[in-house]
């Protein structure tokens, strides 16, 4: 018998005074049932939380404040030694993602900042105090945002567990009697360590993690991914991917600098099971990641030897040779086209740049920038689902996006209609600051296709642009889209 029917039947058989008493008794019983349910839920929540592996920072003579001070000091040296990408758009993406992850770090000691290194090796490193560096190779190799988040969560875990200064503490303890150590360091700990390590070095004590530290960073990183709503298995998937791709060759740089604990992938997957599996509705990818990956792939290749050669007066090395009249064929997942045979294509997937020797110069900040050549890429425009986006709207969005990284950019000739491989497109002329000094002309050609807005940016200094115009036209006339 249903509860309501049973209650009505019982009340009909009861006198009025007794009915009131019965109602009070029923309400009391219901309160007790609710209280029991709430108590069970509250009991289960800590049990579920307790399943995760509990971790905490190890022995450390440094305070969190000293970690941050040391990190600031060493990071300045690091950014002089490693080839920084110095791209505001890429760093903004990394900071947005990294700070969402760091919000779920367990100790909240530090104000994090994330920067991209212009190196295609798959690697990342973190300095004490929340200074995290991600190689562009991670963005280029990752299949989705969750895999990038896995690498970043791993580095955040090294910072949260204070592995760098823990290693420094142990290094000092092995060299100095423990009783003398505390008094010897005191408030001068930061300066003493900075002096001892001789500034930033990839093999410094601050980055020499043990396999135990690596395992801890894997476990805490998995928890951070889970709490941030990402698929926590992505970390193990990325490790497996780069391990498989480097089989038979030198190991990926990430494994060289991060000694791999035994059964690394199994340990990550075990932690996922302890957490109850992936969170409901977990996130794997995002349009922002897909767009930033395309953008990074379209950038000029990193300069050989870590940094582009620098010269006074704009960073220019030498003027490139004239474009060859002999062309070679190039094709990717979006199109087929031709380019001068004394230029070189760089990139993968749908993103590529065609660059002559000497076409990438130092912009004066240690960053290689395209001064001559062509960039081809795909942009995903945002639009109201109720109305289809037009090529004009998509192109305007792209130009706005480009201006974020190029504050000196302006439109000098508004959209004009053009045909590319028989499809309707737009031609727009822009002017921008040239890394080769002075101003440059950027001829932007856009075509809206099902995969997004395919765009071509033809780049040369204003005073030399006429020498490249016929080459750019020939390249664009050779374009054939995938049907």
Which pLDDT score is estimated for 248? 54
pLDDT at 194: 52
Q: What is the pLDDT of residues 217-271, one digit of tens each?
A: 999 999 999 999 999 999 888 888 877 766 555 555 565 556 565 677 888 889 9
Q: What is the pLDDT of residues 87-116, one digit of tens each?
A: 999 999 999 999 999 999 998 779 999 999
Across 472-482, average pLDDT: 96
pLDDT > 90? residue 284:
yes
For residue 416, pLDDT beyond 90: yes
Q: How confident is the model at residue 56 (pLDDT cuts 50, 70, 90)?
A: confident
> Per-residue confidence at 57, pLDDT binned at 50, 70, 90?
confident
Query: Confidence class of residue 406 from pLDDT cuts 50, 70 and 90?
Result: confident
Average pLDDT over residues 309-335: 75
pLDDT at 310: 40
pLDDT at 311 over 50: no
- Judged against a pLDDT cut of 50, whether residue 182 lies above it is answered with no
3-state secondary structure the chain: CCHHHHHHHHHHCCCHHHHHHHHHHHHHHHHHHHHHHHHHHHHHHHHHHHCCCCCCCCCCCCCHHHHHHHHHHHHHHHHHHCCECCCHHHHHHHHHHHHHHHCCCCCCCCCCEEEEECCCCCCEEEECCCEEEEEHHHHHHCCCHHHHHHHHHHHHHHHHCCHHHHHHHHHHHHHCCHHHHHHHHHHHHHHHHHHHHCCCCCCCHHHCCCHHHHHHHHHHHHHHHHHCCECCCHHHHHHHHHHHHCCCCCCCHHHHHCCCCCCHHHHHHHHHHHCCCCCCCCECCCHHHHHHHHHHHHCCCCCCCCCCCCCCCCCCCCCCCCCCCCEEEEECCCEEEEEECCEEEEEECCEEEEEECCCEEECCCCCEEECCEEEEEEECCCCCCCCCCCHHHHHHHHHHHHHHHCCCCEEEEEEEEEEECCEEEEEEEEEEECCCCCEEEEEEEEEEECCEEEEEEEEEEHHHCHHHHHHHHHHHHCCEECC
Residue 37 has pLDDT above 70, yes or no: no
Task: Please give the mean pLDDT across all residues of the chain.
Answer: 80
Q: What is the pLDDT of residue 171?
A: 61
For the segment 332-366, what is each residue's pLDDT rounded down to a tens digit? 889 999 999 999 998 766 788 899 988 988 766 55
Name the pTM for this structure: 0.63
Q: What is the pLDDT of residues 13-25, one digit of tens each?
A: 545 455 455 555 6
């Amino acid at each position: 018998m249903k509860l309501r029917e049973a209650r009505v039947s019982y009340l009909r058989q009861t006198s009025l005074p007794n009915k009131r008493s019965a109602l009070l008794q029923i309400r009391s019983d219901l309160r007790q049932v609710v209280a029991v349910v709430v108590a069970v839920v509250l009991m289960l929540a800590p049990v579920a939380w307790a399943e995760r592996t509990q971790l905490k920072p190890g022995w450390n003579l440094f305070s969190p404040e000293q970690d941050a001070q040391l990190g600031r000091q060493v990071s300045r040296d690091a950014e002089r030694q490693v080839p920084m990408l110095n791209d505001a758009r890429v760093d903004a993406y990394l900071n947005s993602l990294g700070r969402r992850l760091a919000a779920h770090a367990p100790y909240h000691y530090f104000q994090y900042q994330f920067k991209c290194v212009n190196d295609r090796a798959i690697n990342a490193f973190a300095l004490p105090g929340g200074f995290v560096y991600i190689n562009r190779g991670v963005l280029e190799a990752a299949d989705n945002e969750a895999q990038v988040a896995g690498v970043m969560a791993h580095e955040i875990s090294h910072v949260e567990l204070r592995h760098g200064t823990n290693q420094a503490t142990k290094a000092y303890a092995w060299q100095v009697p423990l009783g003398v150590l505390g008094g010897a360091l005191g408030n001068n700990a930061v300066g003493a360590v900075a002096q001892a390590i001789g500034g930033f070095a990839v093999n410094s004590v601050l980055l020499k993690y043990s396999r135990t530290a690596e395992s801890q960073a894997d476990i805490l990183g998995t928890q951070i991914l889970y709490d941030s709503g990402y698929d926590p298995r992505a970390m193990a998937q990325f490790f497996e991917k780069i391990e498989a791709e480097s089989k038979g060759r030198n190991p990926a740089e990430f494994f060289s600098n991060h000694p791999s604990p035994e059964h690394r992938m199994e340990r990550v997957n075990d932690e996922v099971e302890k957490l109850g599996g992936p969170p409901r509705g977990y996130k794997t990818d995002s349009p922002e990641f897909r767009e930033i990956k395309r953008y990074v792939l379209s950038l000029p290749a990193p300069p050989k030897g870590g940094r582009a050669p620098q010269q006074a007066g704009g960073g220019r090395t030498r003027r490139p040779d004239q474009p060859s009249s002999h062309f070679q064929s190039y094709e990717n997942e979006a199109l087929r086209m031709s380019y001068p045979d004394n230029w070189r294509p760089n990139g993968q997937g749908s993103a590529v740049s065609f660059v002559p020797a000497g076409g990438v110069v130092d912009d004066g900040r240690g960053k290689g920038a395209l001064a001559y050549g062509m960039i081809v890429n795909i942009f995903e425009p945002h639009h109201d689902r109720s109305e289809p986006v037009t090529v004009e709207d998509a192109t305007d969005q792209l130009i706005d996006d480009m201006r974020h990284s190029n504050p000196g950019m302006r439109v000098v000739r508004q959209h004009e209609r053009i045909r590319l491989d028989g499809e309707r497109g737009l031609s727009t002329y822009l002017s921008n600051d040239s890394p080769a000094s002075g101003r440059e002309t950027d001829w932007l050609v856009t075509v809206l296709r099902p995969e997004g807005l395919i765009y071509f940016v033809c780049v040369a200094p204003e005073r030399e642009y006429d020498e490249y115009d016929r080459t750019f036209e020939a390249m664009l006339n050779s374009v054939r889209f995938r049907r």
